[in-house]
Amino acid sequence: MKYKRILLKLSGEALMGDKNYGIDSSRLQQYANDIKAVHELGVEIAIVIGGGNIFRGVQAGNVGIDRVQGDYMGMLATLINAMALQSSLEQNGMYTRLMSGIKVESVCEPFIRRRAIRHLEKGRIVIFGAGIGNPYFTTDSTASLRAIEIEAEVVLKGTRVDGVYTADPEKDRDAKRYDKISFQEVYEKNLSVMDMTAFTLCQENNLPIIVFDMNKKENLLNLVHGKNVGTLITSK
Ligand code: UDP
């Protein structure tokens, strides 16, 4: 087993599966299965999930909603996904805690760093909902920041694409995937991995990122076993 403590970032968009909106139950179940397999190895798991399948702050302007208000709506959207994931993990026999970046006391705990670490040590899966709790940030930034705070060894960014490519693989057929690349090269080649705030946080704190396809069964498990899945981004 290569990692003892991981931060898994799941995108909200991936959660909708083939649907146009909302949550796909089979996708949710697949995530629960994959997470369980890793949890059974004794890996400590923290999760950040996005909200793009429900609402994104940047969409707010299009419908006449103030940007900051829209960002809070986006944070609440991530909380809805986090609650769905929490429920699914518990139905599959895992113990979990949901911690929120904004106060929603009837639903979950507030984020308290030392408490989050204690939950992890006790084998509970910790889900961080509602982002950092501030507008103008993303769930990628949340993933980077929380990973650093809880001293995770790696950020595993699960997406629909199986890594970082020389160009957008959905648009350019000749695009090639990197097995490994440095933070510096990602900057120089202007490749998209995460938004800059999230990316810089990882670089400055020497926290490796792995971009991989979460929709492919057992990718997560293989990654934790140290197999070559997706693209690893490190300092050198
Ligand atoms: N958001 C925010 N602050 C945070 C995290 C999220 O304002 O700390 C808002 C932001 O509007 C974002 C939305 O929540 O667009 C949903 O998150 P994101 O777009 O990162 O989700 P994903 O695309 O990964 O599903």
CATH code for position 20: 3.40.1160.10
Q: How far does the centroid of ligand 1 lie from the alpha carbon of residue 10, in Å?
A: 12
The answer, as to whether pTM is greater than 0.85, is yes
Closest CA to 100 of 72, 123, 70: 72
Q: How far apart are CA 61 and CA 70, in angstroms?
A: 8
Is pLDDT larger for residue 70 or for residue 59? 70
Q: How far does the centroid of ligand 1 lie from the alpha carbon of residue 22, in Å?
A: 15
Quickly state the pLDDT bin for 93 (edges 50, 70, 90).
very high
C-alpha of 187 from chain center: 21
At 123-149, the pLDDT tens digits run 999 999 999 999 999 999 999 999 999
Judge contact between 170 and 181, C-beta under 8 A: no
Residue 19 CB partners (closer than 8 Å, separation 6+): none
Among 21, 138, 193, say which to mutate for ligand 1: greatest number of ligand atoms within 8 Å of CB: 138
Give pLDDT, residue 86.
Answer: 98
pLDDT at 160 over 90: no
Domain ranges, residue 40: 5-234
Q: Quote the mean pLDDT of the chain.
A: 95
Q: How far does the centroid of ligand 1 lie from the alpha carbon of residue 214, in Å?
A: 19
What angle is formed at CA 129 by the lines to CA 106 and CA 152, rounded to 5 degrees? Answer: 130
Q: How far does the centroid of ligand 1 lie from the alpha carbon of residue 232, in Å?
A: 24
Give pLDDT, residue 62.
Answer: 87
Ligand 1 pocket: which residues have CB below 6 Å? 11-13, 50-52, 56-58, 70-71, 74-75, 77-78, 131-132, 134-135, 137-140, 142
pLDDT at 91 over 90: yes
Quickly state the pLDDT bin for 204 (edges 50, 70, 90).
very high
Which residue type is seen at 3?
A: Y
**Secondary structure of 137-206 as H, E, C letters:** CCHHHHHHHHHHHCCCCEEEEEECCCCCECCCCCCCCCCCECCEEEHHHHHHCCCCCCCHHHHHHHHHCC
Quickly state the pLDDT bin for 76 (edges 50, 70, 90).
very high
Percent of the chain with pLDDT over 70: 100
Number of domains comprising the chain: 1
Quickly state the pLDDT bin for 84 (edges 50, 70, 90).
very high
Atom of ligand 1 nearest to the CA of 57: 11
